[in-house]
Amino acid sequence: MKLLLALASLVGSAVAFAPSNIARTSVAVPTESATQLYGEYGASSTSFYTTTEKQETYDSLDDVLTTKCADEKLRVVIKDMLDACADITEALRVALVTVEGSENTFGDAQLSVDVIADELMWETCKNSAVIREGASEEDPEVRNTDTDGEGEYTVCWDPLDGSSIVDNNWAVGTIVGIWPKSTGLIGATGRDQVTSLVAIYGPRTTVLVALDDGTYEFSYGCTPEGCQLPDGSWEPWICSRHKVEISPDCKIFSPANLRACQEVPGYKKLVDHYMTERYTLRYSGGLVPDIYQQFTKTQGIFSNPTSPSSPAKLRLAFEAAPFALLVEKAGGKSSDGVTGGSILDVQINTVDQRTALCIGSANEVDRFNSWVVNEE
């Protein structure tokens, strides 16, 4: 109790949400850059620290969806997915990372947390009034979940991306792509998605959501300084970033599949460029944290090309397309690593289709296309 009181004295008293009687109910997110390059904080000049300041109040999930998501049924599926992410958050807090004793479709040993997250996603889909089909990266087959025949959406997910690093207690995440009934999944493209979401589970749980006019971030769980409602209850989700914009230039790079440098001269040239020009390396080996940082730092480039001995590993429907929608809505670009076109224009012909990927700040994706795809 003394610790809580001490913390409270540091952060100030709790601030209630403003009444939700107009389109916006709180102070706007600051317009200044979310990062700074040079070291006012006493570290290397290549470090990137947040400059995001605490707000007096924060918009609730419902406030934002009402004004930024015109389709009522789409609001429902977004909230269903956020509920699942909240459940996964709570499960990760108590579950040990152990081998489950089962294998997924690809023969990979499943971890206990993989199974828990996947079961929670399936349960959410089966209980949803608007979801008609689901497909999991753990068992890549589109399955009907709509017992009443009223469902509108096909939901594809990677329940817990980062299984190889979760035992280190590093950040992992859930990736979700949502397609309409009119296209379904097979034969559709990433551009047909009606929304996508990416949750990251670290010290906090935050989720990126593609809305009508851009990409927004929502934070789960209350802190003393901003989530209490006028009636004394607590808001489970607040909007922590409005309409994120990814800068066209960057100084942060996340190079996956570095083995390909031995066979793809353009990729070696690109990585040498990053090093020579003193870009900052930020790479964990987890797709979610390695791309998610582009939204918090408002810049970055993630590259994962292929080579004869290093084939494509990333899944188009479960990983690449959902992230590409979020990045492109924030002003970034994506490349399929083959033609140089957007990953959102690649047709999904099989549930488990694999792809190369480059994604992030627009000018850096263009550089990747020039040096790696076109070998200039």
Nearest to 13 by CA among 224, 223, 222, 221: 224
Residue holding tokens 């939700």? 20
User: What's residue 101's pLDDT?
Assistant: 55
Sign of CA dihedral 218, 219, 222, 225: negative
3 state SS of 191: helix
Phi, psi for 168 (deg, rounded to 5) = -80, -5
Q: Encoding tokens for residue 245?
A: 């914009």
3 state SS of 227: coil
User: What's residue 227's pLDDT?
Assistant: 66
Nearest to 326 by CA among 204, 191, 221: 191
Is residue 323 within 8 Å of 208, Cβ to Cβ? Answer: no
User: What's residue 188's pLDDT?
Assistant: 98
User: What's residue 140's pLDDT?
Assistant: 92
pLDDT in tens, the chain (376 residues): 333 334 344 334 333 333 333 333 443 333 444 444 444 444 455 666 777 777 777 888 999 999 999 999 999 999 999 999 999 999 888 766 666 555 554 445 556 888 899 999 999 999 999 999 999 999 999 999 998 888 999 999 999 998 888 888 899 999 999 999 999 999 999 999 999 999 999 999 999 999 999 999 999 976 545 566 667 777 889 999 999 999 999 999 999 999 999 999 999 999 999 999 999 999 999 999 999 999 999 999 999 999 999 999 999 999 999 999 999 999 999 999 999 999 999 999 999 999 999 999 999 999 999 999 998 7
Give 72: exposed, middle or buried? Use CB within 10 Å, 0-12, 13-18, 19+: exposed
Sign of CA dihedral 223, 224, 225, 230: positive
User: Residues with Cβ < 8 Å from 347, sequence gap 6 or more?
Assistant: 187, 188, 189
